[in-house]
Structure 1
Amino acid sequence: MMKRFFIYTFIFITAFLITFVMTFPIGNLTAYLLSKYGFYYSRIEGNLFHVTINNLEKGNILIKKVEMKNYIYKQKISINESLQIYLYPLSKAADLICFSFEISAVQEKPQVYGKLTGKYKLNLKNKVIIISGEGNLKEFKTVFFPIYLYEVRHRLEPNIEKNSVYADITGKDLNGKFNGILYLPVNIKDGYIKGKFSGKFMNLGISEDIYIQFNRYIIDGESKIKF
């Protein structure tokens, strides 16, 4: 009798969980969250374990396809098969892995170009994003400045509640090194990057202090420069 009870209970719970997962209105929940943060989309489909979003859009950002897979302790987000993001909600951490990620591929009207390859670990500490990792940005250019960079090899390391940044820059007219600090709070517009660039610009030796406050380019979470 008890054996039958446990078998029936097991079957019922299993069937219930399968039905719950496959019929859970994940599309409605995802749509609500996207709308809450100002995103648009053309279609959402999937279940609790796997969600696909088509034509995710905000400002000049346009991502043709985003896939999200939910595991027990992490979430995997894939964008254009060249950018993978692993989220670990319990530890407030994330891993970013880029494989020649084409920046212009996620812009409706491309204004920034380049291919990013690298691996980065992100942690949230006292509402500040701490980054460690290294990568290489190739063929970088933007419509805002007449500068073409062949590659920007860079490394980021935790520095108390900031990030140390080291970069070797090789370009058509600009070559040199940048060493500095990146402060990146959750409210990105309060962040900044500062440091020193030493090298050559159009074959002339230069040494410049760099200080960029993000609130000059971002307001209320929106970029003033529409990337």
Structure 2
Amino acid sequence: MAHDDAAQFRLTVVDQALRLFAERGYEATTVDEIAVAAGISRRTFFRQFRSKEDVIFADHEFQLASAQEFLEGVEGDPWEAVCEAVIGVFERFTQWRDIAVRRYQVVRRVPALREREIVTVFRYERLFTEFLRGRLPEVPDLARVQYTAAVTATHNYLLRRMVRGESGAALADLRTELAMIPRGRRAPTEQEELVLAVFPRDMPPRKVADLLTARLGNL
């Protein structure tokens, strides 16, 4: 089975499972009922999924794999690459909006599934952080972790708004918000010194430049 066909097959099963969970409840729905609804055998179900819980988050597995594949082949600014990977995840969720909505409705009612969702979010953060570690070894690790946490949290916040049908949760909104997240700085070397300067807000730029030039010349 081709990669795209396999992904579509899994999404079909996920869609049917979430529909049953939403209608009958997560605990009350059996694997056999999911298999019948998806038009597959019990054996086929367990070849693709380990449990009912795995079905709920199966599209995340595809998303994580797609994001990793994108990052492995990307060139250019690593910070921007992480944003583009997150945008790709969001865009696919907008295409699978019905699945995202049903999962939201199911997960919010089952504590064990909410815990699994937290672990899944961390996997995105870890993927992005490891990518930045490989591409930007000179950047402080805390800066990388802070950035990926902010990017992931922004995505998840807007995704929740999207599945609830609220405004201001489109792809363009995500792009705007991601662009506003500060990016980490390079760690100073032993030969470098950091200089901090504070000036009144209304000081003319020319005056700021003159003062900096004078003071730095005396260091």
Same fold at TM > 0.5: no
TM-score of the aligned structures, taking structure 2 as reference length: 0.31
The structure with more helix, counted as a fraction of residues: 2
The structure with more strand, counted as a fraction of residues: 1
Tell me which structure has the larger Cα radius of gyration: 2
